[in-house]
Amino acid sequence: MRIVCDKIKKRTSQAMTEVVLLFPVFIIILFFTAKIFAVLVLIQKMEIAAYYSARRWQLESHLSTQYANGWDESFLKKDIKDKVAEYIGFNSSSVKKFLNLQDSGLELDVQRTQVWNVVTIRVRTNPAGIALLCKYPKQAVCVDQFQNKYCDSGYDYICTGGKALEVVKYVPNRDRPIAFVLPGLQD
């Protein structure tokens, strides 16, 4: 038994070498996973913020041009944009860095039509900054079976100027909660 223990004690350097060589690989995989997770979190936050802004615009905006050009554009739209910016993380430097958000990269656009209000949230991101994936130019990466719009878009997001992510919500003009009154019960 003592001979086996002595042989095991002599082999400790091999495990140490494997740990030293594999540790950077695990760190790189962890970093890539965090960047992918950041994109997923940003998209989910944008969907929730778009629902909030569309619903609030639907319930608080006016049809009258007197208020639509005044209060809606000056106060309501600005207030919704401020709340959305706070929720997505534009006001927190750590969240902004994790999600790769550009300074003043949030746009809220509302387009009025006869029936629908089209509420669009656009968020501009910085490049993800994974230098290991940006070693080669786009023309060398997106070739043959990978030459499509998804490869180009992904390369642009990771290596060049980032991307503009957009969420569009359609809400009806006149869907305001109105008190329900049963016929015949009126005074």
What local confidence, expressed as pLDDT, does residue 15 receive? 61
Better-predicted residue by pLDDT, 84 or 152 = 84
132-166: pLDDT as tens digits: 777 888 888 888 777 777 888 888 778 877 788 89
- The Cβ-side half-sphere exposure at 172, using a 13 Å CA radius, reads 4
DSSP string, 61-103: --SSHHHIIIIIIIIIHHHHHHHHHHHHTTT-HHHHHHTTEEE
- Nearest Cα neighbor of 79 from 105, 92, 63, 61 is 61
What are phi and psi for residue 71, nearest 5 degrees?
-65, -45
CA distance linking residue 61 with residue 118, whole number of Å: 13
| Residue-by-residue DSSP string for 150-179 | HHHHHHHHHHSS--EEEEEEEEETT-----
pLDDT at residue 49, as a whole number:
96
Pairwise CA distance, residues 109 & 170, whole Å: 12
d(CA 185, CA 105): 53
Contact 97, 122 (CB under 8 A): no
Exposed/middle/buried for 88, CB within 10 Å: 0-12, 13-18, 19+?
buried
Confidence at residue 12, expressed as pLDDT on a 0 to 100 scale? 54
User: Which pLDDT does position 114 carry in this prediction?
Assistant: 78
**Mean pLDDT for the chain overall:** 81
pTM: 0.73
CB burial of residue 121 (10 Å; 0-12, 13-18, 19+)? buried
Tokens 């997001």 — which residue? 157
Could you give the angle at which helices 77-88 and 12-60 cross, rounded to 10 degrees?
170
Residue 14 has pLDDT above 70, yes or no: no
State the burial class of residue 136 (Cβ atoms within 10 Å of its Cβ: 0-12, 13-18, 19+). Answer: exposed
